[in-house]
């Protein structure tokens, strides 16, 4: 399920190291004002979509894409974010054991 997210991260990182100015992702990566404006815009559109109960998945995808680009543009690695979330995890890992009694 998360292969798409991993692929997106890979593409964003490839675009960051590319010189292609035709790429929308590349433009966002190299124009931090544009990147932050798009994150704010897309979050607003997601909130509106949720409130109106329409187009939520599309808007959520836009938020994730623009946030991932913004993080990468600012040298914030998603791996570090995921590690931070893991540290905040308060629920224990559940171990399931099976025992049979006869």
CATH number at residue 40: 1.10.287.1080
| DSSP secondary structure letters along 1-27 | -THHHHHHHHHHHHHHT---TT-HHHH
**95 pLDDT band (50/70/90 cuts)?**
low
Looking at the predicted structure, is the pLDDT value of residue 102 above 50? Answer: no
Q: Which domain holds residue 56?
A: 3-79
pLDDT of residue 90: 82
Q: For residue 49, is it within any domain?
A: yes
Q: For residue 86, is it within any domain?
A: no
Residue carrying the six token digits 């991260």: 9
Looking at the predicted structure, is the pLDDT value of residue 100 above 90? Answer: no
pLDDT of residue 52: 97
Give the total number of structural domains in the chain. Answer: 1
- Predicted TM-score (pTM) of the model is 0.82
**Of 73, 27, 65, the residue nearest 43 (C-alpha):** 65
**48 pLDDT band (50/70/90 cuts)?**
very high
């Amino acid at each position: 399920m998360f292969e798409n997210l991993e692929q997106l991260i890979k593409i964003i990182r490839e675009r960051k190291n590319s010189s292609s100015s035709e790429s929308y992702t590349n433009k966002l990566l190299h124009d931090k004002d544009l990147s932050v404006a798009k994150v704010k815009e897309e979050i607003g559109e997601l909130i509106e979509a949720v409130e109106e109960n329409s187009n939520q998945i599309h808007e959520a995808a836009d938020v994730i894409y623009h946030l991932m680009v913004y993080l990468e543009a600012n040298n914030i690695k998603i791996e570090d974010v995921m590690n931070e979330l893991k540290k905040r995890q308060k629920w224990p890992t559940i171990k399931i054991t099976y025992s049979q009694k006869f």
